[in-house]
Amino acid sequence: METGQKLCSKSQADYRVIIIEPGGESRMENQKKSEHLARSKPRPIVLGASFFLLPVFFILGFGSAWLIWGREPSQTVAVQPQPAAAETFLRVNVSADDDPAVGPANAPITIIEFSDYQCPFCQRWHADTFDSLLKAYPDQIRFIYRDYPLYSIHPQAEPASEAANCANAQGKFWEYHELLFSEKMDLSPETYSAYASELGLDLGKFEECLASDQYIPEITADYEYASRLGVSSTPTFFINGIMIVGAQPLSVFQSVIDMELAGEIP
């Protein structure tokens, strides 16, 4: 499901629906107006009781005024501003497993992405940020892709991950990965075979690989592992174990990476 936070989430949002009445007002507004009118209706006034209570009100009012105006003004205490809390980062240990990776094995920065090929925000991040990020730090990033298909809302996410793993078996993961995120065609079994042919893969072996379901345990393991880490939406990234959630712009990644390279994050 698309959200305003640049991510796809497996949880459903709680929507509040306001039905508009004829004339452009909502039921909620009409209800508030009715309650206001009920509260503002004039009530009968008992003149006799009010007449005898006037002296009492005068005395009480005069005494209250003396208590307020007759007292010495209280001293004003200046409130010292508190220093802002230092920015903190939560770092967790995240395994790269044996998933596809690009970049030097000894790079100082490891980025692990948990993603879903049917998530539009994952597609957007790949189109807008992925290449720029690798070009900005050509020898300093090792990027690893791990699967996190949102089963409940993206029925083609797991089959697409299977197809990518089958392409990886023939040494073409990143090229196939690029095609899956290209949105050239809707994700489907026909699309997976068409992309395999476009990359010159052995189509017979590729389709046999898909039919075997051999990578489903691997994909399921990725999903369960990420869930234990606290992942619940895509894309989710870990920069040396520091979680970044959503299709954030390049500047967000650069900020964390530059601080990490400078040794500014504990």
For the chain, the structural domain boundaries read 101-261
Quote the CATH superfamily of domain 101-261. Answer: Glutaredoxin (3.40.30.10)
Q: Which residues contact 237 (CB under 8 A, 6 or more apart)?
A: 111, 112, 113, 114, 243, 244, 245, 253
pLDDT of 161 > 70? The answer is yes
Q: Is the dihedral of CA 10, 141, 196, 207 positive or negative?
A: negative
Per-residue pLDDT at 10: 66
Helices (H) and strands (E) in the chain, counts: 10, 7
| Closest C-alpha among 115, 208, 205, 96 to residue 160 | 115
Tell me which of 24 and 32 has the higher pLDDT.
32
How many CB atoms lie under 10 A from the CB of residue 58?
Answer: 10
For residue 98 the two structure tokens come to 């044996």
Across the chain, mean pLDDT equals: 78
Per-residue pLDDT at 5: 58
Average pLDDT, integer, range 34-46: 40
Q: Which residues contact 143 (CB under 8 A, 6 or more apart)?
A: 101, 102, 103, 111, 113, 133, 134
pTM for this predicted structure:
0.70
Q: Are 145 and 115 in contact (CB under 8 A)?
A: yes
Crossing angle of helices 173-180/189-198, nearest 10°?
130
| Closest C-alpha among 111, 143, 136 to residue 250 | 136
Q: What single DSSP character describes residue 245?
A: E
The amino acid that residue 197 corresponds to is S
Parallel, antiparallel, or unpaired for β 236-239 and 109-115? antiparallel
- Band (pLDDT 50/70/90 cuts) for residue 81 is very low
Average pLDDT, integer, range 104-109: 97
Residue 59 Cα distances to 53, 54, 66, angstroms: 10, 9, 11
Parallel, antiparallel, or unpaired for β 233-234 and 8-9? antiparallel
Least confident of 10-19, 211-220, 224-233: 10-19
